């Protein structure tokens, strides 16, 4: 009990909690001024997300890709890199998985794992490009990953159009069922919700994230590079190779997310007119989760629940969808302002010291 | 370092941290409140005026609940999502219970449709070609519920598939464009390269050719229905090359075509789906290829309320008043209008068969 309460009072836990409640409360106040009943609205949101077995299944479906992209952004961040390219790595992962799913004809026991693994590898390579450019030429990863996002988007559209297109449609053919991550016994159990086993892979990835960073020598090196690359180099760590490794692993998480979304939910890839936003939501998830493995899962859970439940608010209480976007923005704002609090305190601290 | 720790302890005892934090929180809270109130104030003031002369229909005898799910365009897309919602608003005035959900992404289609199905709504609409798969999946999972879809054919007994003969209406605006152009260069800006848009293009080209086969028609697909910037770029290229009339079938992308035209003089745009001269003005809007999605949605929903719902395909062309030109066309001369009416007659009585461009 004591350990639990101590854990709850830790800064990394209590500030996100306060931020979430502050966001919800201010969202409620805005709703009240707009003439809506916030209690009804939040209840409708909750009911939509968890009120029945179908809702639970679809909520998990919404959360799953966010865990992957959240982990991708968080992992890079812990090693001192800002991976804005999770979006592109996600797209490349889905494209690769779709290729394997459509072009190959294999028994399910090989086909499905192969599609997942290839998706992860291609995502990793895509992230690795940015890592390589940073390590070898010092090109900032923010620039390269943003540009690689666009390249991924249009490359994927081009390849779908030329190789995978179903006639007269804006999407690829359907993947062979042997590559699917969704199974009818599971979807039947959840009343036709599109829940799939990608969720378990996501949790597995979070564990891998934790083990690599906290329990392995490699992770120690990666974190050292993130904290202070000069010190790390002085200590004999190869900074350049660690930058590439970090971007590859980060890209793998995002690529796996893309693969899992295709194999589990859509079973085809569409020609995208614009980004779907999984990678950008991943930045919010990582921020909410304090760039930690478990935190990212919680962050994805929160963001996924809010976005999926929002349509329930629309029908149940007449609250427009925009309100939930305000609430999400407020929550992220409050989490981000944790840094402002910290800096402010540090600055005051120094001042006081000087006075003394 | 030690000093620092002592200071920390002292500060904690005195509650310095807490107070500071509280103050900061309180101030930011108040600020946010003030801002949000100001914003809400603005929103209420700028509420749009009542729309003029809405058709009034006989009140419905039975209670009916009709929902619709938009694709990612949303209900204010100045195009078919909006038109469909206007059809349901008309049903509402006749006593129906209506609501809509806007999809944020393709993954939302199925849960959004299910929201209506599980909520016990009588009829659920999916608006747009892209929702075909989702409607099919949900209709098969819920054989007791009824669905409608616009612009796609879904083969299920509980789905009404409403498709339009866009090629017939596009043929007519093709005639208008061919008789209006001075440079003998005309443009077509399409959204995504999908069968529905192909029908617009084919019919339009046929109409132009019927008047003057020597006219050069430039065709471009932007690959998007939402990015107005792409439409503006396409239009700029075309106008620079001497094109003076552009027909767009590109939803929100078309807004960019209108934007580019408004910065030039002596050029025309032909709108799509709705009478777009209402939004963009008569100075640049030559006419519009109307697609009466509102009428279709209203009629099918009303049929349902009156117990006449039947699954299957409903194809609406010129003869069924599903497509056509707007009632008022101040920019079209009488001569052109007479020609248009002649062609229209010929299409309706089968003398001219406009190809749709798809098998």
The answer to which of A8-12, A160-164, A331-335, B348-352 has the lowest mean pLDDT is A8-12
Q: Which two tokens stand for residue A168?
A: 């007269």
Closest chain B C-alpha to A190 CA, distance in angstroms = 13
Residue percentage of chain B with pLDDT more than 90: 47
Cβ-Cβ contacts under 8 Å between A and B: the total is: 87
Shared-domain flag, residues A89 and A168? yes
Q: Residue A52 and residue A203: Cα distance in Å, rounded?
A: 23
pLDDT reported for residue B23: 59
- Determine the residue of chain A that is closest to B26 in CA distance: A22
* Two domains, one topology: B65-164+294-316 and B166-290+329-348: yes
Shared-domain flag, residues A297 and A170? yes
Any chain B CB within 8 A of the CB of A187? no
| Mean pLDDT confidence for A38-59 | 91
Task: Dihedral sign for Cα A17, A19, A25, A30, please.
Answer: negative
Q: How many angstroms from the chain centroid is the CA of residue A315?
A: 28
Residue A56 lies in a domain: no
| Mean pLDDT confidence for A102-130 | 95
Closest chain A C-alpha to B160 CA, distance in angstroms = 20
Name the residue ranges covered by the structural domains of chain B.
65-164+294-316, 166-290+329-348
Q: Residue B151 and residue B159: Cα distance in Å, rounded?
A: 13
Closest chain B C-alpha to A38 CA, distance in angstroms = 15
Shared-domain flag, residues A333 and A294? no
Cα separation of the two ends of chain B: 80
pLDDT reported for residue B2: 43
Contacts (Cβ under 8 Å, ≥6 apart) of A9 = none
Q: Which of residues 87-126 of A touch B (CB under 8 A)?
A: none
pLDDT digits 0-9 by tens, A152-177? 999 999 999 999 988 777 789 999 99
- Determine the residue of chain A that is closest to B121 in CA distance: A315
pLDDT digits 0-9 by tens, A189-241? 888 889 999 999 999 999 999 999 999 999 999 999 999 999 999 999 999 99
Taking CB atoms and an 8 Å cutoff, what residues of chain B touch A321?
A: 102, 104
In terms of average pLDDT, the best of A224-233, A240-249, A322-331, B47-56 is A240-249
- Determine the residue of chain B that is closest to A166 in CA distance: B194
Contacts (Cβ under 8 Å, ≥6 apart) of B333 = none
pLDDT reported for residue A273: 78
Any chain A CB within 8 A of the CB of B9? no
The answer to which of A83-92, B67-76, B226-235 has the lowest mean pLDDT is B67-76
Confidence of residue B14 (pLDDT cuts 50, 70, 90): very low
pLDDT reported for residue B181: 93
The answer to which of A18-32, A336-350, B92-106 has the lowest mean pLDDT is A336-350
Provide the b/e sequence for A24-46 (b: ≥16 CB within 10 Å).
bebbbbbbebbebebeebbbbbb
Shared-domain flag, residues A28 and A174? no
CATH number, span B166-290+329-348: 3.40.50.2300
Given a cut of 70, whether residue A86 has pLDDT beyond it is: yes
Given strand B285-291, what is the order of strands in its sheet? B216-221, B185-190, B245-249, B268-273, B285-291, B323-324
Question: Across the interface, do B111 and A30 touch by the CB < 8 Å criterion?
Answer: no
Residue A52 lies in a domain: no
Taking CB atoms and an 8 Å cutoff, what residues of chain B touch A257?
A: none
- Could you tell me if B169 and B324 are in contact, meaning their C-beta atoms sit under 8 angstroms apart? yes
Task: Give the count of domains, chain A.
Answer: 2
Any chain B CB within 8 A of the CB of A314? yes
Q: Which helix (H) or strand (E) holds B290?
A: strand B285-291
Q: Which two tokens stand for residue A310?
A: 């929002």
Q: Residue B245 and residue B239: Cα distance in Å, rounded?
A: 8
Q: What is the ipTM of this complex?
A: 0.77
Closest CA to B280 of B266, B270, B265: B270
pLDDT reported for residue B76: 81
Contacts (Cβ under 8 Å, ≥6 apart) of B5 = none
Helices (H), B162-320: 166-180, 195-211, 228-240, 253-262, 277-280, 293-305
Greater pLDDT, A239 or B4 = A239
pTM of the model: 0.79
pLDDT reported for residue A347: 72
Given a cut of 70, whether residue B8 has pLDDT beyond it is: no
pLDDT reported for residue B25: 55
Given a cut of 60, whether residue A4 has pLDDT beyond it is: yes
Taking CB atoms and an 8 Å cutoff, what residues of chain B touch A308?
A: 111
Shared-domain flag, residues A242 and A346? no
CA distances in angstroms from A32 to A73, A125, A323, B279, B353, listed in the order given? 36, 49, 11, 33, 58
Picking from A194, A273, A341, the nearest residue to B224 by CB comes out as: A273
Q: Which helix (H) or strand (E) holds B268?
A: strand B268-273
Taking CB atoms and an 8 Å cutoff, what residues of chain A touch B130?
A: 170
Shared-domain flag, residues A17 and A91? no
Shared-domain flag, residues A356 and A343? yes
Going by DSSP bridges, is the β-strand pair B312-316/B285-291 parallel, antiparallel, or unpaired?
Answer: unpaired
As assigned by CATH, the class of the B65-164+294-316 domain is alpha beta
Shared-domain flag, residues A301 and A328? no
The number of C-alpha atoms within 13 Å of A257 and in the hemisphere containing its C-beta is: 35
Q: Which two tokens stand for residue A319?
A: 């609250």
Shared-domain flag, residues A237 and A326? no
Residue A210 lies in a domain: yes
Estimate the crossing angle of helix A11-33 against helix A38-50, to 10 degrees.
Answer: 120
Shared-domain flag, residues A324 and A209? no
pLDDT reported for residue B243: 94
Residue A176 lies in a domain: yes
Given a cut of 50, whether residue A353 has pLDDT beyond it is: yes
Average of per-residue pLDDT values in chain A = 89
Given a cut of 80, whether residue A99 has pLDDT beyond it is: yes
Q: Which two tokens stand for residue A21?
A: 């409640």
Question: Across the interface, do B104 and A265 touch by the CB < 8 Å criterion?
Answer: no
pLDDT digits 0-9 by tens, B69-122? 998 878 887 778 888 999 999 999 988 899 999 888 888 899 999 989 988 899
Cβ neighbours of A85 (radius 10 Å): 33
Average of per-residue pLDDT values in chain B = 84
| Mean pLDDT confidence for A45-64 | 92
**Parent domain of A339:** 1-36+320-356
Q: Residue A6 and residue A259: Cα distance in Å, rounded?
A: 39
The enclosing domain of A171 has a CATH number of: 1.10.3470
Q: Residue B164 and residue B168: Cα distance in Å, rounded?
A: 9
pLDDT reported for residue A75: 96
Greater pLDDT, A112 or B358 = A112
| Mean pLDDT confidence for B43-55 | 44
Shared-domain flag, residues A310 and A340? no
- Determine the residue of chain A that is closest to B103 in CA distance: A311
Shared-domain flag, residues A299 and A342? no
Given a cut of 50, whether residue B57 has pLDDT beyond it is: yes
Closest CA to B245 of B277, B224, B218: B218
The answer to which of A119-128, A246-255, B21-30 has the lowest mean pLDDT is B21-30
């Amino acid at each position: 009990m004591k350990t639990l309460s101590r854990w709850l009072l830790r800064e990394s836990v209590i500030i996100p909690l306060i931020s979430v409640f502050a966001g919800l409360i201010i969202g409620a106040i805005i709703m009240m001024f707009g003439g809506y009943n916030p209690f009804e609205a939040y209840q409708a949101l909750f009911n939509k997300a968890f009120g029945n077995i179908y809702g639970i299944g679809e909520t998990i479906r919404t959360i799953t890709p966010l865990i992957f992209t959240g982990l991708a952004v968080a992992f890079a961040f812990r090693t001192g890199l800002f991976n804005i390219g999770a979006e592109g790595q996600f797209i490349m992962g889905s494209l690769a998985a779709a290729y394997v799913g459509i072009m190959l004809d294999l028994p399910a026991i090989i086909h499905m794992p192969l599609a997942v693994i290839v998706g992860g590898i291609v995502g990793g390579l895509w992230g690795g490009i940015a890592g390589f450019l940073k390590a070898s030429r010092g090109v900032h990863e923010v620039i390269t990953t943003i540009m690689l996002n666009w390249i991924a988007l249009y490359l994927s559209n081009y390849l779908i159009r030329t190789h995978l297109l179903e006639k007269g449609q804006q999407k690829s053919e359907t993947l062979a069922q042997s590559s699917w991550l969704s199974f009818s016994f599971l979807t039947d159990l959840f009343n036709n919700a599109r829940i799939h086993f990608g969720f378990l892979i996501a949790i597995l990835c979070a564990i891998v994230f934790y083990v690599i960073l906290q329990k392995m020598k490699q992770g120690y090196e990666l974190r050292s590079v993130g904290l202070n690359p000069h010190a790390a180099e002085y200590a004999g760590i190869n900074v350049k190779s660690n930058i590439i490794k970090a971007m590859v692993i980060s890209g793998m998480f995002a690529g796996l997310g893309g693969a899992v979304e295709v194999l589990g939910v859509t079973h085809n890839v569409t020609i995208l007119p614009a980004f779907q936003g999984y990678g950008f939501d991943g930045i919010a998830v990582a921020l909410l989760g304090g760039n930690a493995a478990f935190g990212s899962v919680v962050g994805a859970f929160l963001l996924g629940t809010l976005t999926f439940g929002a349509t329930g608010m629309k029908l149940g209480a007449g609250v427009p969808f925009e309100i939930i976007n305000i609430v999400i923005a407020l929550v992220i704002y409050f989490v981000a302002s944790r840094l402002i609090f910290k800096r402010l305190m540090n600055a005051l601290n120094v001042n006081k010291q000087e006075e003394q | 370092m030690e000093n620092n720790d002592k200071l920390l302890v002292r500060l904690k005892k005195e509650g310095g941290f807490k107070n500071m934090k509280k103050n900061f929180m309180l101030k930011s809270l108040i600020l946010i409140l003030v801002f949000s109130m100001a914003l809400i104030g603005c929103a209420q003031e700028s509420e749009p005026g009542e729309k003029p002369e809405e058709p009034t229909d006989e009140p419905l005898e039975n209670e009916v609940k009709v929902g619709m799910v938009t694709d990612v365009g949303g209900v204010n897309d100045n195009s078919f999502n909006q038109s469909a919602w206007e059809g349901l608003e008309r049903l509402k005035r006749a006593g129906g219970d209506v609501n809509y959900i806007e999809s944020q992404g393709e993954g939302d289609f199925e849960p959004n449709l299910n929201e209506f199905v599980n909520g016990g709504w009588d009829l659920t609409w999916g608006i747009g070609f892209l929702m075909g798969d989702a409607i099919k999946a949900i209709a098969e999972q819920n054989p007791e519920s009824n669905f409608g879809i616009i612009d796609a054919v879904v083969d299920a007994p509980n789905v009404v598939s409403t498709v339009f003969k866009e090629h017939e209406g596009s043929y007519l605006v093709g005639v208008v464009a061919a008789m209006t152009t001075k440079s003998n260069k005309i443009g077509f800006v399409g959204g995504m390269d999908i069968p529905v848009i192909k029908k617009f293009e084919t019919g339009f080209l046929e109409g132009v050719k019927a008047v003057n086969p020597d006219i050069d028609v430039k065709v471009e697909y932007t690959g998007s229905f939402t990015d107005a910037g792409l439409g503006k770029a396409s239009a700029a290229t075309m106008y620079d090359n001497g094109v003076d009339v552009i027909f767009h079938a590109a939803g929100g992308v078309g807004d960019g075509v209108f934007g580019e035209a408004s910065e030039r003089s002596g050029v025309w745009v032909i709108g799509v789906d709705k009478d777009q001269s209402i939004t963009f003005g008569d100075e640049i809007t030559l006419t519009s290829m109307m697609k009466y999605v509102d009428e279709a949605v209203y009629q099918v929903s009303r049929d349902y309320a009156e117990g006449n719902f039947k699954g299957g395909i409903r194809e609406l062309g010129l003869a069924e008043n599903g497509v056509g030109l707007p009632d008022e066309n101040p920019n079209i001369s009488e001569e052109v209008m007479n020609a248009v009416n002649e062609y229209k007659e010929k299409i309706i009585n089968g003398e001219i068969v406009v190809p749709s461009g798809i098998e």
